[in-house]
Amino acid sequence: MRAPRPKSERFRLPAVAVLCAALLLGCADKPGPDARRMAADYAAMRLFPPLADTLTMTDAMAIQASFVSALEPRFGPPVGYKAGLTSAAAQARFGADRPVRGVLLREMLRPSGAVVPTLFGARPVFEGDLLVRIGSEAVNRARTDDELLAALDAVIPFLELPDLMYDPAMTLDAPALAAVNVGARLGIVGEAIPLAALDDAYDRLGRFRVALLDTTGAVLAEGDGAALLGHPLNVVRWLRDSLARDGVALRPGDLLSLGSLTPLMPVRPGQTITARYTGLASEPGEVTVTFR
């Protein structure tokens, strides 16, 4: 993992977002959730109260910026970004027509084989996901798929452990999900696969498959690369462009979580879950986590 950036460079926001965040924190008359209280609820794994039905995506991203900033002292600096709602099924579930993005903090990531509490969040779930690592700042100028691929350093099997956070009685939509950092809580990181070593990397990314297996080896869920906006590079491009609109450029070493490859699955105590990836490299890759 690379060294943390200076705080002034780690999470840069346009002036309008800073102003909105200030408003939402109670620095003006407009009411909004207190980021410090949100961070305390997150750390204590308490369910979040519902947000306003009229919450816009602009408001949600301002809340997210303040929330992430309040989490940093305990969960470390940003090490990348995550995309959510990148599959048709996920968008249908949350009534969305486009993805949403969040921030990955250093202490959210654990190595394969990690043992985590069954109740690692207020509403814990798990899903198959995929990480890519930025290798060059040229990613910010890439126009074609080939240029975009050349700016990536590695692809990494990733078992995400999100937290839906809100009371189950609440109907979640895209702004509510974005406000709580797209449910980012934990993620289990597998072994990096250098993309330069794959002469057919584009095709491999588009056709790889993942299967989630339980302790007995039974398949719980399956998915493939096409679930990610048709091809994982489409999510990389969407994240890059979404960040650019807010004045943020990707940097070498940034990790990008590309979204749901499988349905969200319930967590059960004592389970060991294996995510098995086939087609990314010549041999299958695996990521495991045990819930105690």
Q: What share of the chain is helix, strand, coil (3-state, %, to 5)?
A: 35, 25, 40
Residue 198: per-residue pLDDT: 87
24 Cβ neighbours under 8 A, 6+ residues apart: 30, 32, 33, 35, 59, 62, 63, 66
Residue 97: per-residue pLDDT: 87
Three-class DSSP category at 16: helix
Residue 8: per-residue pLDDT: 34
- Tell me how far CA of residue 16 lies from CA of 19, 95, 249, in angstroms: 5, 27, 17
CATH code, domain carrying 157? 3.90.850.10
Residue 171: per-residue pLDDT: 85
HSE, side-chain direction, 13 A CA sphere, residue 227: 24
pLDDT 10s digit of each residue in the chain, 292 long? 443 443 333 334 333 343 344 334 333 334 357 899 999 999 999 999 888 778 999 999 999 999 999 999 999 999 999 999 998 888 888 888 899 999 999 999 999 999 999 999 999 999 999 999 999 999 999 999 999 999 999 999 999 999 999 999 888 899 999 999 999 999 999 999 999 988 899 999 999 999 999 999 999 999 999 999 999 999 999 999 999 999 999 999 999 999 999 999 999 999 999 999 999 999 999 999 999 9
Inside any domain, residue 18: no
Inside any domain, residue 38: no
Cα–Cα dist 35/57, whole Å = 17
Residue 54: per-residue pLDDT: 82
Give the angle subtended at the CA of 184 by the CAs of 236 and 20, to the nearest 5°.
85
Residue 121: per-residue pLDDT: 97
Residue 34: per-residue pLDDT: 87
The two three-digit tokens of residue 13, written as one number: 């926001």
Residue 26: per-residue pLDDT: 38
Inside any domain, residue 113: yes
Cα–Cα dist 56/54, whole Å = 6
Domain that holds residue 252: 77-291
For the chain, count helices (H), then strands (E): 9, 14
pTM, two decimals, is 0.88
Cα–Cα dist 261/289, whole Å = 17
Inside any domain, residue 166: yes
Question: What's the number of domains the chain is made of?
Answer: 1
Inside any domain, residue 117: yes
Inside any domain, residue 179: yes
CA dihedral 137, 140, 141, 147 (to 10 degrees): 70
Going by the DSSP 8-state scheme, the letter that residue 272 receives in this structure is E
44 Cβ neighbours under 8 A, 6+ residues apart: none
The two three-digit tokens of residue 223, written as one number: 């998915």
Inside any domain, residue 274: yes
Inside any domain, residue 246: yes
